Chains A and B, each alone.
Chain A
Amino acid sequence: MTEFLQLLVIGLLEGGLYAMVAVAMVLVYKSTHVVSLAHGQFMGFGALAFWFVLVQLKMPIVVALVLALCFAAAVGWAVERFAMRPLIGQPLFAAFLTTFATFLMMDGLFQLILKGESASFAAYLPLGSISVAGKPLPTTQLASFGASLLLFAGLAVFFRFTKVGLGMRATAEDHQLAQSTGITVRSIFSYIWMLSTVVATFAGIALANVSDIYFTLPYMGIKGLIVALVGGLDSLPGALLAGLLLGVLENVSAGYLDPIVGGGVKEVAAYVLLLLVLLIRPYGLLGLVRIERI
């Protein structure tokens, strides 16, 4: 039983990170209907920017965080302005492929900068561990999880109570109608991309905090995509639910099945979950079901 509890807690902590990655993608999909593959790179570059300011320039952590998030917003703005905006009115598939091209380009750049090494900023943060159910948990993991919960709360407040948040929700529903009520849909798209790269950077820093920056970091974006699909591509609560679910499922299944099949369960669990969810609920666990009065 304690073993199960431990796996559950670790799973929840990891799941919080998955959820953050997924949320960044959901934001973009919800408003612009573009499925973005580039978000893994936004995570990687965000973490890299944070690392650069914190470790290379030896700035305080708050400065590093602010600068990294500003950098992220700039990247988001640039991607929207130069890669996505020219494609407005074109088939969505073109936009989808453009995000893939963006991923590839940034991937090359990422490896060029990192040169196959790994970067770590864990040593610059207060370390330690607390004990949960008899097992020590590193504070870095707890901090990352806390950050992800904070982020969700922040987003919920933002969408519920701010004007731009309202404009984003309206735009997500109907572009033409939003435009005819005076919302500048193009600038909403721009804000959305900036917001989502900021969220992705947040996720990237939280992830790198747990597992260092390595060339595999951007590929966590694939996990994020799976979580987004499982939760429903247009549902923020869905992303949170699916993220936590996947984290728990991975760890619990690995904990019990690995000794039997000889390892690797964790790598497969996400795809099994995705397959099952897509078969049973193709629009995701909490995906938007259009309101239809009968």
Chain B
Amino acid sequence: MLQINNAEVIYSDVILVLKGVSAQVPDGRIVALLGANGAGKTTTLKAISGVLRTELGEVTDGSVELDGKPIHRMDPEEIVRLGIVQVMEGRRLFEHLTVEENLLVGAYMRKDAAGIGQDLAKTYGYFPRLSDLRRRTSGYLSGGERQMLVMGRSLMARPRIMLLDEPSMGLSPLLVKEIFRVVRAINDEENVAILLVEQNARIALSISEHGYVMENGRIVLDGPSERLRENEDIKEFYLGLSDKGRRKSYREVKHYKRRKRWLA
């Protein structure tokens, strides 16, 4: 179980980004983290994966714990070895390496050659498209193929917990569906827990069991996903539905009419 306890994150000693965030990701579950741009979702993921420290950020208060042991002072490569892998936003690849080499880098810290071979086959099973492209220089892949490759690469680490940052960004609805089918399969079959950061609240809440909503560096709302889906504020601000449950007409949009209840 991954646990974030009242974590406060400061960049460059002055910029307060997370103001006490608490959340948990139980083993083998999918948890969604929602919020507008700049709310602190990605920073939360970076605080977990340790990448924060390479960007002059620091967890200054609270803690990030895996099975009760604090991990927020560790280097990113140590955290990967514990089984927590971040799929960073922006689909970053080693662009001059081939598709297969990218996948093998994902298994870099593993020593079991046989297991790596199996996982390579498994990854190609989840993403048949990558199998066709295995010798291709990865810098020339399309957006969807890149998304498959970054997910495949993190799968190669045989993770316990995958931190997935905006997998649907900029992809066609069909491809988004496909990507999330695989996310669910990874969770089901590999028993990988997933912390999912998404702008697409509808799909994130349909796939996850628990959800957190962030705003301004704080968690403002959380609960089981089916309850969040029914929450009036979520409907209004994240799913684009009015309280009557029909699609909102943009002619009637008046932001001051409804106040987010959690601000009260």
A residues adjacent to B (C-beta < 8 A): 163, 166-167, 169-170, 173-185, 288, 290-291, 293
The 8 A CB mask of B93-105 against A (1 = contact, 0 = none) is 0111100010011
**B105 and A179: CB pair below 8 A?**
no
Q: Does B18 contact A (CB under 8 A)?
A: no
| B105 cross-chain contacts in A, Cβ below 8 A | 166-167, 170, 178, 181, 183
Contact A182 B109 (CB under 8 A): yes
A183 to B106, CA, bound (A): 9
Closest to B53 in A: A179
Q: Are B92 and A182 in contact (CB under 8 A)?
A: no
Nearest first, the 10 closest Cβ-Cβ pairs linking A and B are: A291-B139, A182-B109, A182-B80, A179-B76, A170-B105, A173-B94, A291-B95, A184-B77, A170-B94, A177-B92
Give the number of residue pairs across the A-B interface with Cβ within 8 Å: 74
Q: Check B97–A173 contact: CB distance below 8 A.
A: yes
CA A167 – CA B105 in complex, angstroms? 7
B140, A180: Cβ atoms closer than 8 Å: no
Whether the pair B94, A180 counts as a contact (CB closer than 8 A) is no
| Interchain CA distance A173-B96 in the complex, whole Å | 8
Cβ–Cβ contact A177 & B94, under 8 A: yes
Task: Please give, as numbers and ranges, the residues of chain B lying within 8 Å of A181 by CB-CB distance.
Answer: 80, 85, 105-106, 108, 153-154, 157
Q: Is the CB of B95 within 8 A of A173?
A: yes
15 further A-B contacts with Cβ under 8 Å, apart from A166-B101, A179-B77, are A167-B105, A169-B97, A173-B96, A173-B97, A174-B94, A177-B88, A178-B94, A179-B51, A179-B54, A180-B88, A181-B106, A182-B77, A182-B109, A184-B75, A291-B137
| Between-chain CB contacts (< 8 Å), 20 pairs | A166-B101, A166-B108, A167-B108, A170-B101, A173-B95, A176-B55, A177-B88, A179-B77, A180-B51, A180-B76, A180-B80, A181-B85, A181-B105, A181-B153, A181-B154, A182-B109, A184-B77, A290-B95, A291-B95, A293-B139
Contact with A along B52-78 (1 / 0, CB 8 A): 001100000000000000000001110
Residues of B within 8 A of A (CB): 49, 51, 54-55, 75-77, 80-81, 85-86, 88, 92, 94-97, 101, 104-106, 108-109, 137, 139-140, 153-154, 157
A5, B80: Cα distance in complex, Å: 57
B137 contacts across to A, CB distance below 8 A: 291
The minimal Cβ–Cβ distance linking B210 to chain A, given in whole angstroms, is: 25
Residues of A within 8 Å of B109, CB to CB, are 182-183
Take A179-B54, A179-B76 as given contacts and tell me if A291 and B108 are in contact as well, using a CB distance cutoff of 8 Å: no
Please measure, in the bound complex, the distance between the C-alpha atom of A175 and the C-alpha atom of B85, giving whole angstroms.
Answer: 16
A179 to B95, CA, bound (A): 16
A184 cross-chain contacts in B, Cβ below 8 A: 75, 77
List of B residues within 8 angstroms of A185 by Cβ: 77
From A163, A173, A179, A181, name the one whose CB has the most chain B CB atoms within 10 angstroms.
Answer: A181
Asked whether, in the complex, the Cβ of A183 is within 8 Å of the Cβ of B108, the reply is: yes
Given contacts A179-B75, A182-B108, A291-B139, contact A169 B157 (CB under 8 A): no
In this complex, what residue of A is CB-closest to B156? A181
Q: Which of A175, A176, A182, A185 has the most CB of B within 10 A?
A: A182
Shortest Cβ gap from A262 to chain B (Å):
47
Which residues of A have CB within 8 Å of B54? 175-176, 179
Q: For the complex, what is the distance from the CA of A180 to the CA of B45, rounded to whole Å?
A: 12
Given that A180-B86, A291-B140 are known contacts, is A170 also in contact with B108, CB under 8 Å in the complex?
yes
Nearest chain B residue, comparing its CB with the CB of A164: B108
CA distance A106 to B75 in the complex (A): 34
How close is A180's CB to chain B, nearest CB, in angstroms? 5
Closest Cβ of chain A to B197, distance in Å, is 15
Give Cα distance in the complex from A182 to B157, angstroms: 8
Q: B96 — which chain A residues lie within 8 A by C-beta?
A: 169, 173, 288, 291
Select from chain A the residue with minimum beta-carbon distance to B138. Answer: A291
Q: Is the CB–CB distance between A176 and B51 below 8 Å?
A: yes
Q: Would you give the shortest CB distance from A157 to chain B, in whole angstroms?
A: 15
A residues in contact with B157, CB < 8 Å: 181-182
Q: How far is the CB of B88 from chain A (nearest CB, A)?
A: 6
Residues of chain B lying within 8 A (CB to CB) of residue A166: 97, 101, 104-105, 108
Expressed in whole angstroms, the Cα–Cα distance for A241 and B51 within the complex equals 38
- How distant is the Cα of A176 from the Cα of B108 in the complex, in angstroms? 15
Across the interface, name the chain B residue whose C-beta is closest to A293.
Answer: B140
Q: Which chain B positions have C-beta within 8 A of A293?
A: 139-140
Bound complex: CA of A167 vs CA of B140, how far in Å? 21
Closest Cβ–Cβ distance, residue B220 to chain A (whole Å): 28
Hey, which chain A residues are within 8 Å of B101, CB to CB? 166, 169-170
Considering the complex, give the chain B residue whose CB is closest to the CB of A288. Answer: B96
CB < 8 Å neighbour of A170 from B51, B88, B97, B140: B97
Closest to A175 in B: B54
Contact B94 A169 (CB under 8 A): yes
**Known contacts A181-B157, A183-B109; A174/B104 CB under 8 A:** no
B136 vs chain A, min Cβ distance (A): 12
For B76, B80, B92, which residue has the most chain A Cβ atoms within 10 angstroms?
A: B76
